[in-house]
Structure 1
């Protein structure tokens, strides 16, 4: 059945798109629906739980947990932008209007870019805590943290607008079937009837900047941290320093690795590879981050116990 032609009708301009989803194999639809539903529930519970713990426990209201709060908020938001719409594709034909598609694209870009710079800010916070502990309160003051956060969200807004504005000007007049589970940039560019050279330039500039600059910043900060840790004579001190950085490095590797593979690879790569790589940082990442940051975190364990005790005695 030619869904794309039927949806277009007599109008040459696309008013709605059909999201094909992750797979077209009928035997996989139901198992994948329940799997990703479970992933989304874990993501919401995990991120919302961390947000509540940080808000309710004064000893978690430090720069480190302030940025973790923003990371959990960002993960919660952009997984909610993507996953519910993805789940629809497993149970029925998933139709999304042009306006809804552009809205999803904007918020996806906004929150993903935010995550890039929140992870970078978290790396700088660890550098300040480990390499300059005596100046930590000044270096990471409330005002500095607030300014960094404002910068993160402004950067996300401006760059998301650049992607969305360049996409809105494209004309889609041939097929309206998006071979993806969301309105992803590369999948949309393949459907355009007009030149996409400006869009491709925006993608390479924005994505290249958002991968290279944060990655380079994180690499430099962790190189300095490593040299500082190696100078610590106490084995216990080195272990504690490594433990505070280990969780962040896992999260950074997962996020930036998948993003770089997705947007900085040759255009000849298959669409299935695109879908798999986006799953890691749009769906799996937001679920894993709360567990990465809390499994071996004594502060979070203490906060959880205190919160549970208060809730029991209320």
Structure 2
């Protein structure tokens, strides 16, 4: 059986390698005519091949001079959730000199690594028919010297690839369905927590889901952290204090591929803003959050977790337009 991951991988890694002008024939072969892209705020829904080219790929090409795509993860598998089908997902960086505005973000004139999480539905002919993409524009603002929030909870850093360096089109690994089983079990138990300790059943310890040396790579505004204690201190405590009734897991896609798994919801979370968060006083507003999680597992434990959140859209719901504040 042919590897369905190969066609979208070749397409996505050819878009910016053929010179500065986008190749229309490449897009005809890579995207269905009625393709839909849901992209992080402020882009949102793009419908049809031309709108996707003009609304997503062309702005990146114009803003980041000589831009190239660099995948850190690229995996694929059958989707356990409706609408089903076969999907590929990636964590990547768009690398270039930030010489022109991008989606309203002012340029720096310097090198940037614009991180993105991407989910693509792939049809039988190898073309992409649907996409969900979170571009970390808040981290781009940080790289450009225009970070709009008062503090960063963890360590802001370039997203690394997996420690095992085997996350792009993995082969010869564990059963991806078993990897996804582990991550789904963790997510089911993560929903409930102790409001005093912020701990959840089964997450750590000898029989826990997470390895003691887990690494959690978070988006702009949160940053990254090490071990469960770092995860609680540098992300979970602040998040659950601000959004104590949060309910997640409303996913449109869950896939496993070897030692890797990925899940995403658009939105995944619903919650009430009941506490101060990253400089924004509690609004008591009902909010939603678009989420992407990518996991590497080994020996029945989760080792690494890459997380993309659409924080510009979240802060818009809380009453702050971070782009206009530059």
TM-score class normalised by the smaller sequence:
under 0.3
Normalised by the length of structure 2, the TM-score is 0.25
Greater helix fraction, Structure 1 or Structure 2: 1
Normalised by the length of structure 1, the TM-score is: 0.26
The structure showing larger relative contact order (alpha-carbon pairs under 8 Å, at least 6 residues apart) is 1
Q: Going by fraction, where is strand more abundant, 1 or 2? A: 2
